[in-house]
Amino acid sequence: QSALTQPASVSGSPGQSITISCTGTSSDVGSYNLVSWYQQHPGKAPKLMIYEGSKRPSGVSNRFSGSKSGNTASLTISGLQAEDEADYYCCSYAGSSTLWVFGGGTKLTVL
């Protein structure tokens, strides 16, 4: 069982927007603005999409955005494209004892 809870799957049609949630606790997501999101295509290494909750690395489309409310972080993808179909993982800092925890991953299907 993962420390952070994500929906197992989400889906959307091209052009639509979807949101993936990542629920933690007051010991991780709720206490730190250090949530990151990773995209993983089959057989590939994960790729950083969002860091520090809402910042985008250079080269990542502005269709990807991140936010947080309380103990839940969210990744929103707008203007869905076929290439967005992948698994998405959240990760949060969880303090000096645990350090980092992952979510269980969400499979995004573009219909």
Partner 1 sequence: QVQLQESGPGLVKPSQTLSLTCTVSGGSISSGGYYWSWIRQHPGKGLEWIGYIYYSGSTYYNPSLKSRVTISVDTSKNQFSLKLSSVTAADTAVYYCARVNGSSTIDYWGQGTLVTVSS
**Contact residues for partner 1, defined by CB under 8 A:** 2, 32, 34, 36, 38, 44-48, 51-52, 57, 89, 91-93, 99-105
Strand partners, 4: 103
**Residue 50 CB coordination number (10 Å):** 25
CB of 77 to partner 1, least distance (A): 19
Q: Which is nearer to partner 1, 51 or 76 (CB)?
A: 51
- Minimum Å gap between C-beta 13 and partner 1 is 26
CB of 92 to partner 1, least distance (A): 8
Calpha distance 16→27 (Å, rounded): 33
CA gap 92, 50 in Å, rounded: 12
